Amino acid sequence: MKLTLQQHKELLSQSITGNGNLTFDKNLANPTTATVTITPTGTASYDITPSCPATNLLTVVQMTLGSPADNNKFIHNQYLWEKDNIPSPTASELITFNVTPSSPVTSFIQTDGQSSIGLFPVTGSALTPQSNKKDFDDFVFDSGVNKFKYLVSNTAYTSADWATIDAAATNVTPITNPSTGLFQATFNYANPSANRYLYLIWDYRTPTSISLRFGASSSIACCSGSTSTFYIDTNSFATATAIYTDATLQTKAANQFYQTGNSVREQASGALLPAQTCAACGTAIGLCYSNTSADDVCCIGCTYTSYSSSVVNSTRGGACGLSQTATYYHNGSGATPVVNNFVYSDSSGQTLLGVGYYSLSATSVIYVNNNGMVENLLTC
């Protein structure tokens, strides 16, 4: 007899005898039914046992990373996928930020299902993670800082492995804003090897670079330690939970003391302890010096280098928005002042600049302390 199978087009058409199996690829979501036509070539009896389409088991893991400054805020994480112009339902999870000093993970949700069915994407589909501020949500997505990421893997990670997942994940760009409060990005979900796990990451952290003086004790950090650029997980040293050495916030800095302004904090076991006020270090003053002779320094006098700067502002962010309309002077050896240089409003070095933030460019800001000394070199 002859068996013909159709699903909006002919898929199989062949003569068969005896026992056997016939298979075909179902690579479209619709139609969902197939028509089997049997044409006997004579007297025939037959039994047909249809099997369900074979799919792959997939675990979708939704991981949310946050900053402690956003604790107790709300946002909706969503995702959907589309194949051959047929969209899936939209998965939606209400997220409440609850970041601890030991981990930025605020949610880690695992769901098992069959690929191509419901919320579980099939390889080759377009997958779109979304952040949707709706109803009573109060977290505000920042497309310049926050990120969507994904990882396809055969490894079963836990929330404790967040840094490993994050390091291996791929950023999804570009991020678009199709409607008020809705941000999204789309990527091609490729999983030809049928890996078991799809990790979707909503990274709501606020990595911020900061110049900090550091040392083995609070006195060293406050007064005599070296200064370097680090990263924190909020936009303020006061609210940060840890110091990191990388902008991806995956590698904790050494356990020691860190200082900026008049505030010093100890990092212990990878977490920042409460801030303390720096003890007095003595008074820093700018002095002329010479490597040649006393006559040289006494008779020739000090020379100061001019540089362009903004006027003073009380905040780092405020200074970042200012143009370099003023000319000031410093006692360093470079074109612009660096940490521990003194800065002046006059070429003779008689009047120190006041305390506050001054921008040197669109991306660089210095903080001048009460002694007229550059205490920190910061980025915008």
Residue 285 has pLDDT above 80, yes or no: no
Range of the domain at 319: 296-379
**In sequence order, what DSSP letters do the residues of 60-76 get, joined into one string?**
EEEEEE--GGGTT-EEE
Shared domain for 114 and 248, answered yes or no, is: no
Distance between CA atoms of residues 225 and 218, nearest Å: 9
Shared domain for 79 and 185, answered yes or no, is: yes
Shared domain for 189 and 78, answered yes or no, is: yes
Distance between CA atoms of residues 93 and 254, nearest Å: 36
pTM: 0.65
Show the tokens assigned to 369: 């302390």
Contact predicate 233/242, CB 8 Å: yes
**At 20, which amino acid appears?**
G
What residue has token string 């070539």? 41
Shared domain for 139 and 105, answered yes or no, is: yes
Classify residue 34: in a domain, yes or no: yes
Q: Return phi, psi of residue 318, to 5°.
A: -65, -40
Q: Give the helix/strand (H/E) hosting 168.
A: helix 162-168
- Into how many domains does the chain fold? 4
> pLDDT tens for residues 313-325?
998 889 999 999 9
**Average pLDDT of every residue of the chain:** 88
Shared domain for 71 and 20, answered yes or no, is: no
Shared domain for 173 and 256, answered yes or no, is: no
Shared domain for 262 and 309, answered yes or no, is: no
> pLDDT tens for residues 45-91?
777 777 766 678 999 999 999 988 899 999 999 999 999 888 999 99
Bridge partners of residue 87, in order along the sequence: 82
Distance between CA atoms of residues 359 and 365, nearest Å: 4
Shared domain for 69 and 116, answered yes or no, is: yes
Distance between CA atoms of residues 97 and 137, nearest Å: 11
Shared domain for 96 and 116, answered yes or no, is: yes
Classify residue 48: in a domain, yes or no: no
Residue at a domain's end among 174, 203, 232: 203
Shared domain for 196 and 220, answered yes or no, is: no
Shared domain for 327 and 364, answered yes or no, is: yes
pLDDT of residue 13: 75
What residue has token string 């370099």? 324
Shared domain for 35 and 158, answered yes or no, is: no
Residue 326, SS3 per DSSP: strand
Residue at a domain's end among 186, 203, 220: 203
Residue 141: CB atoms within 10 A of its CB come to 20
Q: Parallel, antiparallel, or unpaired for β 57-65 and 197-203?
A: parallel
